[in-house]
Structure 1
């Protein structure tokens, strides 16, 4: 993304992929799995409301591997306040492990909230927090985030998404991003797409487009592609998902909008494949992408970044 485009408010240029939350039962067990996939993870961090995470940093986006550390202090949601911790607790109880939330970037939380309200999305009270992040070398840095939660219902009988949505503005990005955390043995550089599955993808184009702040989307025989300034949001039918990633990638057919897969762009596809094999994974070569299923409820695909 160019500096000129990045300087525009997200409400004007649209909202790119910021991160995806992967809810897991045991943080360190899941971290070991992602490390075997060839990713380098940040040290463990604890949220003040009872969840803990480790992060996979990429070029401007990341994957947040999240677990409930202390359920006794998780705040419950209200009519006006969204609870990040309670949402993921309930997701794990309802679904088991999997990709629980899609997060888009923000430069102006108040503008995001106003835009969501104008588009008919449900909004919640503003929420922000700061914490101290400690590097592997023991250096302490303050990181802070402003989260703007939103919710929407699609058309049709099963319109309630089985995923959470919010935008995230970093208060101190210079303290969060580290070049050494973005150097992965599998050569992953970016998150190219978050892939949803829905019985009828068209039921959700209005809600997802409003959330992303983009008006244009591409309809295909498989479903929808919503391009953003950083990566894409894809929504496909269960049949299309299985055709692309394999039947084992979707053992059960979801009846609601479900976040099911992530597509990563890598610099060296051969090196990514070597890392996956060394990690003990069964790897499928599907349409030029190396695909691994059953990663704590998610499918991950590695695709070569076009040269030039």
Structure 2
């Protein structure tokens, strides 16, 4: 049975090594970096059914590979990095990518294209194995940074290793991804259709779209500043609405004091972040 929850916003950065160092300094366990077959390099902080993923350009000669309809994943990331760092698009968790495609098509959101890929890995017992992943891309032409893709990890057992999911800061996933928009109506329309729910308000009174794994918070620039105390760059909304912050769930709220990690978005790759207290689920 398919479901769509926030899995991993892709935080695109120009200097992956520096970003890894920064996130490790905040108490995230970042696994050794790897590379997608379409040329983007990637580093992950793993949670259950969610990932904090940082991407950059690894091998520019591969960026035109794995074309999905009119969509080239590597070029999409490259295009946004030419303008600014930040979230380029977001993966949504699904257990059945084909069913997710059918569900969104029924709601008037056609699939742009499909990507199937895998990589060779070695299990803890020394045995070779191979991951298998299916992506169904749903590109938003008018709000490109809010494009999403349904991500089915057929071999999640080769990704969610317990020793890589324990973070010194106690993080265990995302409570919310905050989108900034001058006009919130198109954003709410897009996300309510993607998730097949009605818009609501979150516990802090902001416009919200609930998913099965965290919620989208939609705010205007002044509301964003009131939440995170961060100043948006002057050209932040040049490409339309986009994710500006992540709320990270931690089981030991006192350990991180419940305050924003930083109000300087450039330090985290074009986003703000705050820790929020939340009991860890099994």
Q: Is the 8 A contact 2:68 2:137 kept in 1?
A: no
1:290 aligned residue (255, 260, 264): 260
Report the alpha carbon displacement of residue 103 of structure 1 after superposing the two structures with TM.
Answer: 1.2
What SS is found at the alignment partner of 1:121? coil
Q: Is the 8 A contact 2:68 2:113 kept in 1?
A: no
Q: Is the 8 A contact 1:77 1:86 kept in 2?
A: no
After TM superposition, the structure 1 = structure 2 runs for residues 114-263 of structure 1, keeping only pairs within 5 Å, are 114-133=102-121, 140-152=128-140, 159-211=142-194, 213-219=195-201, 223-248=206-231, 250-252=232-234, 254-255=237-238, 256-263=240-247
**What stretches of structure 2 of length at least 5 have no aligned partner?**
none
TM-score (norm 1): 0.81
Q: Is the 8 A contact 1:185 1:272 kept in 2?
A: no
Structure 2: how far apart are the matches of 1:292 and 1:184? 19
Q: What is the RMSD computed on CA atoms of the aligned residues?
A: 2.5
What SS is found at the alignment partner of 2:244? strand
Q: Is the 8 A contact 2:140 2:146 kept in 1?
A: no
Structure 2: how far apart are the matches of 1:148 and 1:54? 21
Report the alpha carbon displacement of residue 137 of structure 1 after superposing the two structures with TM.
Answer: 9.5
1:26 aligned residue (5, 12, 15): 15
Going from structure 1 to structure 2, the CA distance change for 1:83 and 1:138 (only over 3 Å counts) comes to farther
Structure 2: how far apart are the matches of 1:137 and 1:192? 34
Going from structure 1 to structure 2, the CA distance change for 1:247 and 1:9 (only over 3 Å counts) comes to closer
Report the alpha carbon displacement of residue 30 of structure 1 after superposing the two structures with TM.
Answer: 0.9
What SS is found at the alignment partner of 1:39? coil
TM-score (norm 2): 0.88
